[in-house]
A = this chain, B = another copy of it.
Amino acid sequence: MTGLIALDWGSSSLRAFRFDGAGRLAQTRARPWGVRQLPAGGYDAALADVTAGWPALPRLACGMVGSRNGWREMPYLDLPADAAQLAGALGAVHAADGSDVHLVPGLRDPHGPDLMRGEETQLVGALALRPALAGAGTFILPGTHSKWATVQGGAVTGFRTLMTGELFAVLQQHSMLGAIGAEAADDAAAFARGVATARDSGAAGALSRLFSARALMLDGALAPASVPDYLSGLLIGEEFRAALADGLARPDAPLQLVGDDALCERYRRAAALFGIELPAPLADAAAHGLWQLAVQARLVQRHPEESRAC
């Protein structure tokens, strides 16, 4: 039996993927056991549960499992870095079941500095899924901490973290902007208005327009239930405004979304208001990236009759 058990192990969730020897995704499981909320028995118990009944295969994990507060701290590789360098820098932790779990290092952009852990593997997977962008492209990975990463010549050459998702959550839950006393509506027009406000804020930027979410509501120009969508648009729009100002998004370099459909759809709508048409997002990039890295690190041998890499 050949194949791979790939683990995308973040702060708040654990996803496990079983690949067959040809690199085909055979099975997927998810557990709410991020490194901040492990079950009794810790990493070993979580691993035993999420892989129960699966054959003994090489195991490769990415994400916060390799952080200072994870199972074992892995270093950050400085940019520029490509898949071969990541595959050459894997570490391992010895699990209670007697076998190793290999771990992917993170990446560090010395300009900034900025750090990523988990997204480097998504980028490897995204490049395998869309190799045409390996020459030059920018990948957008929306999330709690969104990443915008530039790729040139197959290597990650720069990236920036935007705290969009976390900022939206804390403002909604803990600031005056969240005290709307109403169920959130699903208001696409309010979202678009927020995006446009960020876009039109010029060099001042959308942080200086944050209070508009409150002022428009008090002014009767925005329904209380639409404030969350307006705020979402303002913050996502600000990502595009700042990325364009920073040169992370350029009209001549293709942009590619990586991530889950619902959130990526918001980014596509925001991009359209900047005159940017984004193709459909790439899904399961972490799983595909783990497979690619396992192959490059010779943790798995591609099966002779395989027909496709991932």
Contacts and interface: CB of A to CB of B under 8 A. Distances in A.
Interface of A: 68, 108, 112-115, 145, 160-163, 166-167, 170-171, 173-176, 202-208, 210-212, 214-216, 218-219, 221, 238-239, 242-243, 245-246
B161 A211 contact: yes
Nearest to A67: B218
Contacts of A212: 112-114
A34 to B, nearest CB: 13
Nearest to A211: B161
A245 B204 CA distance: 5
B215 A114 contact: yes
B161 A115 contact: no
B163 A219 contact: no
Given A113-B215, A205-B245, 8 more contacts: A112-B212, A113-B212, A162-B207, A162-B210, A202-B246, A203-B205, A204-B242, A205-B207
Contact of A170 (B112, B170, B214, B239): B170
A41 B264 CA distance: 51
A68 to B, nearest CB: 8
Given A166-B176, A171-B170, A219-B115, A242 B208 contact: yes
A238 B174 CA distance: 22
Given A113-B216, A170-B170, A207 B207 contact: yes
Given A174-B170, A202-B245, A238 B207 contact: yes
B176 A242 contact: no
A96 B150 CA distance: 67
Contacts of A202: 203, 245-246
A208 B235 CA distance: 11
Contacts of A115: 214-215, 218-219
